[in-house]
Structure 1
Amino acid sequence: MDSLSTSLANASMRTSLNDLPEDLILDIITHLPHASHIANLSQTSRYAHSIVERAGWKKFSRQSFPSLALDGTSAFPGRVLADRLTYLDMCWEKRAFVFHSYKELAPPRSGRRWKGKQTVGFYPVIGGGLVGQGDELVAWGAGEDLVTRYTPCGLSSPHQWSRLEGKSIGQSAGFGDITALSVLDRGSGPEALVGRANGQMRLITVAGEDFGQLGQQLLPHEQTVESHHEEISRMKIGSPAQVAISATQWHPKNNLIASCQGSSLTLYDLSDHDSEYIQSVAHYDMATGGPDDELSLLKSAKFLGKNSIACALGNTRKPLRFGTITPSGLVFPTTSETPDTRPWDIFGSLDAEGKTAVRAIETVGNGTSESLLLSAWDDGTFRLTDRRTPSSYVMMYRDRCWQTYDSASSLLVYGTQRFVAGGKSAANVRIYDFRNPKPYHYADALPCIDKCPPPIPPYDHSPGYTARARCSGSHKCTYHFQSRRDVYRSDVTLYMGDSSVGNVYALAKTSDIASSFFVGTQGAVTEVGLRLAEDVTAKDLMSKNAPDGWRVGKPSGTIAMSEDGMGACVRSEWRMETQGFLGLKKQNRRARKRDYTRRLDSAYYD
């Protein structure tokens, strides 16, 4: 392919390229696997340059990263988008991350605790998304307060922080804590749907001069505006797990909101922008028809297209359920129609009474999948379900080496390439590869080498490979051949450094092409940025700003990473494995020489 790039630069080709129609030029681009080849094509003539800049780069991006959701990227120039996607892919593959931890400033020492303040750190709830023309918005709940970061579209745009104190809108610590959060844009500006421990749900404006303005309130099922006013001064009594809003999900295509409260799933139509109160349009109690010994608490709900919804439940024999949205309401199969849970009991995940929990679920694909769903189970497995098949799962993933039975509290999915799981029992983040074919490999654009990418995994027991110094036809050089193999692309666990913060409570990202994701632990929110160690300067580490009343800095403790082998497996092949790991690798952020040949970020090397 390098010879093709060279030939395109010849003067004899310029005239012929100028005579080709645009569609044919774009078809040529589909056969160029590397960005460098497209750049060479762009330099052959003004005609080719205009086509590449106008449509070629975005065609390359869609072809190389087909499973990522690229909606909201229209404001990015094609070259910038391609550069960002290829750089982020390199960071993911090399496990190149930089960490910034946001924490509230300690109150002044006065000898007594602030009235109304909690004695333990908050448990953050985080939401994120693209709003407007591709602007990034991330929001989190810190107790009863709401914190937002708005970043206008552009690689160098400054962050705009805002904070809404809960007490300023009548919310108290504890009972008024934020327990669910969704970012949405209905066309009138960015909003956050905030669910609280007291069962309240309200839309709040979260950008611009109207930040903090209280919008429409979503009423509980069967509650009218009149009954709401009658009960507004009374505190709702009940178990906190039954009263609190545990999760919310917005579907932009049909403008529906799904809310989870106890065992109840409720849908709201947000098409009406003018009404002060919004009443529910559908409701279903997951405890309906179930055994008396089940609580069936809803952990999460995700839309699967316009007409289907998936629900994750705890303390039940049916922890993963799929429903249909009909004009008359929500329809779920009865207990007798639901497949038996025993096939799900792969490694003893069910208790003595056959009950278990699914802690988190996420759709898989480019944001429009109606059949693929990833679920995190209590036995430490992550199961990929395809509703088009009769099987309860089509692929399974787990840590097969270190914390085999440690379940996850939250999930993030990036197309069909990888997913991130937040640890339920410790402050760690696991990164798994779905092990699907990759259209783009960053290493393919690097020079040929007759050596394997260092460090060489000690658990590589594959048949011998004839060393080659250069790629020739269908035969790749040693470096490019080995770089594509799964054994050189191990799943990893990131240890967040501070063991005192407990487990991970939330994960969030603004988009599939965001340069960072967010991890919520007790009393802190950590931004995990994708950045090569060679590109991180002292200014990058110190120049982050924080919202009022907060500070930002390095996480306390040592950031480290372990390689965990390949977590993808099917039931028949699962086993505990000791794969000869390279050990725990501590991250060291000091200036170092750039070396693209290493398969891991240079921050993990001495």
Structure 2
Amino acid sequence: MMSSSQALDISRLDTLPTDILLIILGYLDTARSVAHLAAASKGLHQLISAEGWRIFVKSCFSSLTLPTSKSDENWAALARVLTSQSRDWDRRAFVFHSLSPPETRRPNARRSNAAQSIPGNIIVDAHLWRQGRFDEELVVWGSGEDVVARIRTNDRTRVVSESWHFYKGSESSFVAGKDDTTAISIMKSDFLGGKEDMGVVVGRANGDLRLLSIGESKSGQTLMQFRPPPSSSIHQHEIRAVDIHSDAGIMAASTRESVWLYSLKDHSPTHWNDVTEPSNTDPTVAISLRDSQQYSSFDFIRSMRMLDKQTIAVALNGSFDPIRVLDVTPTGVEVSTATRIPNERPYIGFNPRTVRALLPVDVRSIAGGGGNVLLSSWDDGTIRLQDLRSPSSVDRVYQDNFEISTPINALISHGLERFVAGSAYSQMLKVFDFRWARGYYHTDSLPCTSMSPYPTPRPPTMVNEPEYHDNRSLCDHVLGRLCRWHALSRHGFYRPNCNIYLPFRYYASSPIYALAKPSDVSPTIYAGLSGLLVEFTLKSGIHSSYVPDADALYTQQRGKVAILETGDGSAISDVTKCVRVPEIRRQSFSDAEYNNIWARRQHRLDEALQDPHEWQ
């Protein structure tokens, strides 16, 4: 017969088999729960130190592209980073800096003695990778005929070092205007073995396409040039976009009417240190979309992205079929169009449609997800998500519920949690929630209450605040019932999208021309405007105190932004229901201390956006 002490010992949590404990860990949805469990016993502490934080991160942030790490400390640190960043995104805890050259005029491309009053558009790309115990962040942007690169080393809490590299276009005989940078793409994955091996592909308005070294020893040196042979019937003029599939070693480039593929397999980083003269590389594929007679005409190619190593999506300006899909096969290139929305007119008024930006979306973390899923921005202000290989036309349509018809110039995503869009008409960023189920809500770690989340959003559309009849003040996890505050905090009504109005003025109000982020775990997104690069960083992220040297030609400025909440982001079918003007909140960074700390934590928005009169 079993004694009572034996029965008590068997019922202890830390005596359960390891496999059972690991399953339990997969159901913990807050970092606080994991930490409390680790404090229960020495055995649980050892298990969670070895496996718990890795399981927590992968189950709660499964849609993000996570770094590979074998270190237990790295997973615990990553859990702190990602939970803080999720809180910052939801509370709109943002910090903005601008990087701009102090000079206000640059030589004109046509008349060297005149001046060009309009600055070049900033085109930017960024990448982050792990180097030992440090993160290395590279951001590269084209500013007119020049190219600028910044390499930053950090340990996720502070910046350890920072170096700048400037490549003057004039030193390679490039002239402002006609030789401006129009496309930037950093070589990633296996092509980035270390600082000495870094490279960036730069495309220009004159059709020049080349790989530049970013390494210390060969900084700015041309390693490869990409151009068709003189006998080619298709000419490579005015590079519009560049995209690299690093795993396959393929680069795609587009001009106003053509798409080019170049192989990078024979040019690995091990050969770069031996480069004395740049090699000329011929394209493996060249296709002019003008030759596709079975499809409607178009003005020019606006954007191009590689979905995989053999599928390319192309966005067109002024076409009745503005998205073309190129499938590269052993026998040639097959051109097709994306499925149209049923009953949709392929024109606005008497004009064909335009797609401005494309963004491939990785949906493999969703059950049953796969295929080539694409996010595209259209000239009617909608942003459409669709699987190009499924018979359905569009899986979901998003729209700014305040500026319903403003088109989008650039797109960047943060896993499957949210995406950021850059306005084509003004210096404004728009943050959209994908509205898929999440694995982590920062509000779950806050105290229970029977109140509703506050302040109540005031969306521009005529929608009612959601009803929730269960006014319980405490969550019952046994019955699976949440308190009122925790249940409503997950509702889309209380997690609205937002527009961010940038305060920076360099020449005049500028559209957003490009967006880039180093990785899904990075706290920073970069936005390229006219003559200005904006650094958009989450509040809990790393903020550098480094200032470029006087000869760096770039100055840093912090700006306070205005934020307007814009509803759930669903497409609006009846514009008459979009009549209200939401409240605009302006950031106010103050050192004032308030006594009601609990109310500040429960507030939906960051302290910089709070009004003390809203606290309850």
TM-score bracket relative to the smaller structure: 0.7 to 0.9
Distance in 1 (alpha carbons) for counterparts of 2:137 and 2:530:
24
User: What's the TM-score once normalised by structure 1's chain length?
Assistant: 0.85
Q: 1:201 to 1:131 in 2, by over 3 A?
A: farther
* Aligned partner of residue 435 in structure 1, secondary structure: coil
Q: Does the 8 A contact of 2:565 with 2:582 survive in 1?
A: yes
User: What's the TM-score once normalised by structure 2's chain length?
Assistant: 0.84
Q: Does the 8 A contact of 2:64 with 2:415 survive in 1?
A: yes
The offset of 1:211, in angstroms, is 1.9
Matched, 1:212 2:213: no
Which residue identity lines up with residue 48 of structure 2 in the other structure?
V
Matched, 1:297 2:300: yes
Matches within 5 A, 1:134-533: 135-152=136-153, 154-155=155-156, 156=158, 157-185=160-188, 186-188=191-193, 189-220=197-228, 222-223=229-230, 243-273=237-267, 276-290=279-293, 294-333=297-336, 338=337, 341=340, 343=342, 345=344, 349-353=347-351, 355-365=352-362, 370-400=371-401, 402-458=402-458, 459-472=463-476, 473-498=479-504, 500-531=508-539
The offset of 1:104, in angstroms, is 0.0
Q: 1:95 to 1:339 in 2, by over 3 A?
A: closer
Q: Does the 8 A contact of 2:296 with 2:320 survive in 1?
A: no
Residue of structure 2 aligned with 1:77, choices 74, 82, 90: 74
Distance in 1 (alpha carbons) for counterparts of 2:371 and 2:493:
31
Name the residue aligned to 1:127: 125
Q: Does the 8 A contact of 2:448 with 2:485 survive in 1?
A: yes
Q: Does the 8 A contact of 2:14 with 2:43 survive in 1?
A: yes
Distance in 2 (alpha carbons) for counterparts of 1:367 and 1:176:
40
Unaligned stretches of 5+ in structure 1?
1-11, 229-235
* Aligned partner of residue 494 in structure 1, secondary structure: strand
Distance in 2 (alpha carbons) for counterparts of 1:191 and 1:23:
45
The offset of 1:81, in angstroms, is 0.6
Q: 1:577 to 1:108 in 2, by over 3 A?
A: closer
The offset of 1:150, in angstroms, is 1.4
Which residue identity lines up with residue 272 of structure 1 in the other structure?
D
The offset of 1:447, in angstroms, is 0.7
Distance in 2 (alpha carbons) for counterparts of 1:204 and 1:436:
40
The offset of 1:52, in angstroms, is 2.1
Name the residue aligned to 1:97: 94
Task: Decide which moves more: 383-392 or 32-41.
Answer: 383-392
Matches within 5 A, 1:6-155: 16=12, 19-71=15-67, 77-106=74-103, 118-131=116-129, 133=131, 135-152=136-153, 154-155=155-156
Q: 1:525 to 1:43 in 2, by over 3 A?
A: same
Q: 1:114 to 1:223 in 2, by over 3 A?
A: closer
Q: Does the 8 A contact of 2:224 with 2:279 survive in 1?
A: yes
Distance in 1 (alpha carbons) for counterparts of 2:220 and 2:21:
50
Distance in 2 (alpha carbons) for counterparts of 1:74 and 1:317:
51
Which residue identity lines up with residue 524 of structure 2 in the other structure?
S
Distance in 1 (alpha carbons) for counterparts of 2:427 and 2:239:
24
The offset of 1:302, in angstroms, is 1.8
Distance in 1 (alpha carbons) for counterparts of 2:454 and 2:318:
46
Name the residue aligned to 2:548: 546
The offset of 1:342, in angstroms, is 7.1
Distance in 2 (alpha carbons) for counterparts of 1:508 and 1:399:
21
Task: Decide which moves more: 427-436 or 118-127.
Answer: 118-127
Distance in 1 (alpha carbons) for counterparts of 2:490 and 2:467:
15
* Deviations, residues 431-451 of structure 1 (Å, cap 9, x unaligned): 111111111111001111221
The offset of 1:585, in angstroms, is 0.9
The offset of 1:43, in angstroms, is 2.4
Distance in 2 (alpha carbons) for counterparts of 1:601 and 1:28:
33
Which residue identity lines up with residue 286 of structure 2 in the other structure?
H
Unaligned stretches of 5+ in structure 2?
1-7, 272-277, 612-616
Q: Does the 8 A contact of 1:349 with 1:378 survive in 2?
A: no
* Deviations, residues 30-79 of structure 1 (Å, cap 9, x unaligned): 02111111112222344433332333212211110111111466677001
* Aligned partner of residue 245 in structure 1, secondary structure: coil
Residue of structure 1 aligned with 2:607, choices 577, 594, 602: 602
* Deviations, residues 324-379 of structure 1 (Å, cap 9, x unaligned): 1212332213xxxx467574846x853515x1111001011269964211000011
Q: Does the 8 A contact of 1:435 with 1:568 survive in 2?
A: no
Distance in 2 (alpha carbons) for counterparts of 1:440 and 1:403:
30
Distance in 2 (alpha carbons) for counterparts of 1:293 and 1:43:
66
The offset of 1:464, in angstroms, is 4.6
Distance in 2 (alpha carbons) for counterparts of 1:344 and 1:103:
47
Distance in 2 (alpha carbons) for counterparts of 1:574 and 1:184:
45
* Aligned partner of residue 461 in structure 1, secondary structure: coil
* Count of residue correspondences: 562
Which residue identity lines up with residue 472 of structure 2 in the other structure?
R
Q: Does the 8 A contact of 1:304 with 1:370 survive in 2?
A: no
Q: Does the 8 A contact of 1:349 with 1:379 survive in 2?
A: no
Q: Does the 8 A contact of 1:177 with 1:196 survive in 2?
A: yes
Distance in 2 (alpha carbons) for counterparts of 1:55 and 1:392:
42
Which residue identity lines up with residue 166 of structure 1 in the other structure?
G
Q: Does the 8 A contact of 2:470 with 2:483 survive in 1?
A: no
* Deviations, residues 537-582 of structure 1 (Å, cap 9, x unaligned): xxx6x93523611100124xx620111111124x8x5545337554
Q: Does the 8 A contact of 1:490 with 1:566 survive in 2?
A: yes
Q: 1:124 to 1:107 in 2, by over 3 A?
A: closer
Which residue identity lines up with residue 437 of structure 1 in the other structure?
A
* Deviations, residues 435-477 of structure 1 (Å, cap 9, x unaligned): 1111111100111122122111245433353322211232211
The offset of 1:291, in angstroms, is 8.0
Q: Give the CA RMSD over aligned residues.
A: 3.1
Which residue identity lines up with residue 78 of structure 1 in the other structure?
W
Distance in 2 (alpha carbons) for counterparts of 1:108 and 1:292:
44
The offset of 1:15, in angstroms, is 9.8
Distance in 1 (alpha carbons) for counterparts of 2:163 and 2:415:
28
Distance in 2 (alpha carbons) for counterparts of 1:383 and 1:492:
18
Distance in 2 (alpha carbons) for counterparts of 1:90 and 1:139:
28
* Aligned partner of residue 163 in structure 1, secondary structure: strand
The offset of 1:290, in angstroms, is 3.5
Q: 1:449 to 1:581 in 2, by over 3 A?
A: farther
Name the residue aligned to 2:3: none
* Deviations, residues 487-537 of structure 1 (Å, cap 9, x unaligned): 1011110001246232111111111111110111111111011116xx99x
The offset of 1:306, in angstroms, is 2.8
Which residue identity lines up with residue 388 of structure 2 in the other structure?
R
Q: Does the 8 A contact of 2:206 with 2:237 survive in 1?
A: yes
Q: Does the 8 A contact of 1:69 with 1:367 survive in 2?
A: no
The offset of 1:392, in angstroms, is 2.0
The offset of 1:209, in angstroms, is 3.0
Q: 1:590 to 1:329 in 2, by over 3 A?
A: farther
* Deviations, residues 79-123 of structure 1 (Å, cap 9, x unaligned): 11111111111111111111101110127999xx98586332221
Q: 1:14 to 1:263 in 2, by over 3 A?
A: farther
The offset of 1:170, in angstroms, is 2.4
